[in-house]
């Protein structure tokens, strides 16, 4: 029987609405100006997310989320499976690259002020994506189940404990009991490979749809003066540039993963005291140091409580930033810029301090 490929193509086109999508892509344009380089940060995150999914599925085929099997199975992936060590290294490094690009994307949007009307919801879904990405990192850190990952998880899951009323419950919910045990490992595995992927895809779908709906932002000056900004066709010009950037990033990721493969300590001993110098992942360091500088007691409450409340207030304020800074020009906008620079300096200094 001869298959008529044209008919097959038309069948898929009909069901999946491929022609309207293709037409939309050929019509879509990306503004070109002095800040357009930052448009590539969003798609770079998508690249790292795709790498996380592929390498994550490969690792999950052999990983065992049990107290007895976790550390051993990671060891087996690294030594017994062909290029297993490289897959693990790429997964670990791509997580770092992804978070670094999410933070760069956020800072670029902060300073170009693209969060303003009508992109408030894009910003807020972005903030949710940042939190989910960090929780991905936090839950993944425990999975190799060595002394370092166990102690870091003990410290991390203990932080909500400082919040009165609900704190104890949150810590117990995260741990699946009073302490970090095999139950925590099962729970973190479920979060890491099932719940968080579902959540990130749902939020990401809204984020990308909003970007399509509003189109890309243009510099403030052009927006205020209603100046026409030159634009590049999305297909094929912008996509081709994007692919070039992806290839450079892939090369960099592969080089770093080949040279600096992560190690694995022996299986965690739950009875052993915490090893000296327990540190979380780099993107949590400044928060970790913030918690450390507060004194044990501050009047009727603990220092940790004050620190946790301050951090939560800052996160909520950043989440609602588009409603705080609304005017296209003016003093408030400049203050937001200074606050951005100050926040960046604070995060860098506190991260370095926590390593000393
Ligand atoms: C998993 C994380 C994320 C992914 C995959 C992602 C993806 C994207 C993509 C592909 C775009 C369009 C291209 C671009 O402007 O770069 C975009 C735009 C945007 N993103 Fe994200 N994003 C993420 C996180 C964030 C975060 C953390 C924020 C800020 C809190 C944010 C806020 C925005 C805004 C406001 C735009 C519109 C920018 C404009 O029109 O100029 N996103 N995002």
Q: Is residue 81 part of a domain?
A: yes
Peptide bond into 236 cis (omega under 30): yes
- Quickly list DSSP for 91-111: HHHHHHHHHHHHHHHHHHHHH
Digit-coded pLDDT (tens) for 104-131: 999 999 999 999 999 999 999 999 999 9
> Which CATH number goes with the domain that contains 130?
1.20.810.10
Query: Within a domain: residue 247?
Result: yes
Averaged pLDDT, 43-52: 98
pLDDT confidence of residue 93: 98
Average pLDDT of the chain to the nearest whole number: 95
> 263 is written with which tokens?
């190690």
Residue holding tokens 């989320």? Answer: 65
Report d(CA 349, CA 289) in Å as an integer.
10
Residue 40 CA, ligand 1 centroid: distance in Å = 10
Distance 152 CA to ligand 1 centre (A): 30
In this structure, what DSSP letter does residue 232 have?
A: E
Give ligand 1 pocket residues (Cβ under 6 A): 39, 41-43, 45-46, 49, 102, 105-106, 109, 114-115, 119, 122-123, 126-127, 129-130, 133, 204, 207-208, 211, 216-217
Residue 15 in domain: no
- Is there a contact between 280 and 288 (Cβ–Cβ < 8 Å)? yes
Strands 297-298 and 301-302: antiparallel
The whole domain housing 68 covers: 37-278
**Whether pLDDT at 273 is above 90:** no
List Cβ<8 Å contacts ≥24 apart for 51-58: 51/90, 51/91, 51/94, 51/253, 52/91, 52/94, 52/95, 52/98, 52/136, 53/197, 55/87, 55/88, 55/90, 55/91, 55/94, 56/91, 56/193, 58/87
Examine residue 301 and state whether it is found in any structural domain, yes or no. no
pLDDT digit string, tens, across residues 52-64: 999 999 999 999 9
Residue 142, pLDDT score: 97
Count of structural domains, the chain: 1
pLDDT bracket for residue 277 (50, 70, 90): confident
User: Is the pLDDT score of 81 beyond 90?
Assistant: yes
User: CA nearest 266: which of 148, 141, 154?
Assistant: 148
Task: Identify whether 340 is part of a domain.
Answer: no
What gap in Å lies between CA 211 and CA 221, rounded to an integer?
21
Q: How many residues does the chain have?
A: 356
Residue 284 domain-assigned? no
What confidence tier does 174 reach under pLDDT thresholds 50, 70, 90? very high
- Report CA torsion sign: 290, 294, 296, 301: negative
Question: How buried is 162 (Cβ within 10 angstroms: 0-12 exposed, 13-18 middle, 19+ buried)?
Answer: buried
CA dist 134 and 191 (Å) reads 12
Closest residue (by CA) to atom 28 of ligand 1? Answer: 126
What tens digit of pLDDT does each residue of 208-228 get? 999 999 999 998 888 878 888
Separation CA 105–CA 97 (nearest Å): 12
The predicted pLDDT at position 272 comes to: 85
Residue 329 has pLDDT above 80, yes or no: no
Which atom of ligand 1 is least distant from the CA of 200? 1
**352 inside domain:** no
Establish if 149 belongs to a structural domain.
Answer: yes
End-to-end Cα distance, the chain: 72
Long-range contacts of 240-245 (CB under 8 A, 24+ apart): 241/40, 242/40, 242/43, 245/40, 245/43, 245/44
Q: Give CA–CA dist 120/211, Å, rounded.
A: 11
């Amino acid at each position: 029987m001869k298959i008529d490929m044209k008919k097959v193509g038309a069948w898929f086109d009909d069901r999946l609405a491929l022609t309207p999508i293709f037409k939309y892509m050929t019509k879509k344009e990306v503004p070109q100006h002095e800040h357009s380089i930052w448009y590539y940060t969003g798609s770079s995150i998508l690249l790292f997310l795709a790498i996380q999914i592929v390498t994550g599925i490969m690792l999950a085929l052999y990983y065992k989320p049990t107290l007895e099997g976790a550390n051993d199975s990671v060891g087996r992936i690294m030594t017994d499976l062909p290029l297993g060590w490289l897959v693990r290294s790429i997964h670990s490094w791509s997580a770092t690259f992804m978070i670094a690009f999410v933070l760069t994307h956020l800072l670029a949007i902060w300073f170009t002020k693209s969060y303003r009307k009508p992109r408030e919801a894009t910003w807020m879904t972005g903030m949710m994506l940042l939190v989910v990405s960090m929780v991905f990192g936090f839950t993944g850190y425990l999975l190799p189940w060595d002394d370092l990952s166990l102690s870091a998880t003990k410290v991390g899951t203990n932080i909500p404990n400082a919040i009165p009323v609900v704190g104890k419950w949150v810590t117990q919910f995260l741990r699946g009991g009073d302490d970090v045990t095999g139950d925590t490992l099962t729970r973190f595995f479920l979060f890491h490979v099932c719940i968080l992927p579902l959540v990130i895809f749902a939020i990401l779908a809204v984020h990308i749809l909003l970007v399509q709906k509003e189109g890309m932002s243009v510099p403030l000056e052009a927006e205020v003066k209603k100046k026409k900004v030159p634009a590049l066709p999305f297909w094929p010009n912008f996509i081709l540039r994007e692919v070039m950037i992806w290839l450079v990033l892939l090369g960099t990721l592969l080089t770093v993963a080949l040279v600096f493969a992560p190690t694995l300590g022996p299986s965690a001993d739950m009875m052993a005291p915490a090893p000296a110098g327990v540190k979380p992942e780099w993107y949590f360091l400044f928060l970790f140091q913030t918690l450390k500088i507060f004194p044990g007691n501050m009047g009727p409450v603990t220092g940790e409580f004050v620190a946790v409340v301050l951090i939560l207030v800052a996160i909520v304020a950043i989440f609602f930033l588009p409603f705080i800074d609304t005017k296209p020009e003016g003093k408030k906008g400049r203050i937001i810029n200074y606050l951005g620079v100050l926040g960046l300096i604070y995060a860098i200094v506190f991260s370095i301090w926590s390593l000393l």
